[in-house]
Amino acid sequence: MIRKTPVLISYCIALLFVLSACGGSSPADQAADMSLDGEQTGETEESATQPAAEENAPQLTSTPEEPVAGSVRVSQADGMEQVFVPAGEFIIGWQETDATTEVLPGPFPDFLKHTVTLDSYWMDKVPVTNGQYQRCVQAGACRPCGQNNIPPQGKDYFTESEYASYPVVNVSWYMARDYCEWAGHRLPTEAEWEKAARGTDGRKYPWGNEPYTEDKANICDKHCPPSVRGTIANPNFDDGYPGPSPVGNYPAGASPYGALDMAGNVWEWTSTAAQFYPYDADDGREAEYDKADGEKWPERILRGGPWNNGLIYQRSSFRYRAVAIYWNMNMGFRCASSE
């Protein structure tokens, strides 16, 4: 069954390229340090001899005494709100048939349904924005994004102030990882991402099992430009945005912990190397990337369907993947923290 997964790998890579009008990657990405150890464990002492990146190094994020599910704190590093997800089991995956296929057999892709137990963690409430990412670039810790014709076209999506609250896109896995490390955080695992999106009860979408309505997420709606449409546009819906939308714009689509834009807006990189289910954090997929074995895990998982794809991709269980050096106008990220 899970041997079919390589088909999905090929399918999704091909799909990414088909759906992308202007995707690409930077050679600089390939030379990036692959370490996933982004935890900040102490205050950074500043001195006149330190480079700009360290002068702008983030402060530790303060944590409430006893957070509960959905507790919110604000990261002092980048101003991002984070929501708390308690430790415990949750249901990962989605199966509507007996087939535990990990390919796309039709309108109801199955991803082996099973139980995973996680420690507690904090998840960014929304995707990282252009404004936040710009601060990291200015600090010398992040590489600038590539440009392309992100709808609405005609303006610089990355630098125009009117897009400061929109999700940053055109970021590779390495660029996303670098930002999270600068912010004193890390990329979430795909299991952490899924639990933050759908809670513990195995629901289909962050808001529950109720059908999508246009107030719940920014998907490929009636205004989705034909040039960037995914395989399944939705001409019956008008969510207000032909391209990306300001982060946190769809509170009706909040997850059980209050995370927003988990469905819709942008795909979101996770730390997880693309590997078969069942999910096992100890089998190497979450291991620190080994530069000496640099091509062993060339692909990483993305979650949380984008503005230019249809409803299937918005399911909280849907696994997407792309090579880590790839970037696209529908791919962004959010960060997480263990403490």
Binding site for Ca ion (CB under 5 A): 218, 221, 239, 241, 261, 265, 304
Q: How far is the CB of 296 from Ca ion (least distance, A)?
A: 28
Comparing CB distances to Ca ion, the nearer of 58 and 167 is 167
Closer residue to Ca ion (CB): 56 or 249: 249
Q: Between 178 and 221, whose beta carbon lies closer to Ca ion?
A: 221
d(CA 24, CA 326): 6
In the complex with Ca ion, the residue whose CB is nearer, 110 or 261, is 261
DSSP state of 106: S
Cα first-last separation, the chain:
37
Closest listed residue to residue 85, CA positions, set 74, 69, 72: 69
Closest residue to Ca ion, judged by C-beta, is 304
- Rounded to a whole number of angstroms, the minimum distance from the CB of residue 234 to Ca ion is 9
Measured from the CB atom, is 57 or 259 closer to Ca ion? Answer: 259
Report the candidate in 212, 237, 223, 219 with the shortest Cα–Cα distance to residue 304.
219
Task: Read off φ and ψ for residue 157, nearest 5 degrees.
Answer: -60, -35
Q: Is the dihedral of CA 185, 156, 34, 50 positive or negative?
A: negative
Q: How far is the CB of 240 from Ca ion (least distance, A)?
A: 7
Q: How far is the CB of 250 from Ca ion (least distance, A)?
A: 10
Return the structure tokens found at 11: 């399918």
To the nearest whole angstrom, how small is the minimum distance from the Cβ of residue 304 to Ca ion?
3
Closer Cβ to Ca ion, 129 or 218, answer by number: 218
Q: Are 167 and 128 in contact (CB under 8 A)?
A: yes
Cα 319 to Cα 19, 44, 143, 276, 299: the distances in Å are 16, 37, 27, 11, 12
Q: Which amino acid is at 121?
A: Y
Angle at 264 between CA 78 and CA 32, to 5 degrees: 50
Q: Least CB distance from residue 208 to Ca ion, whole Å?
A: 17
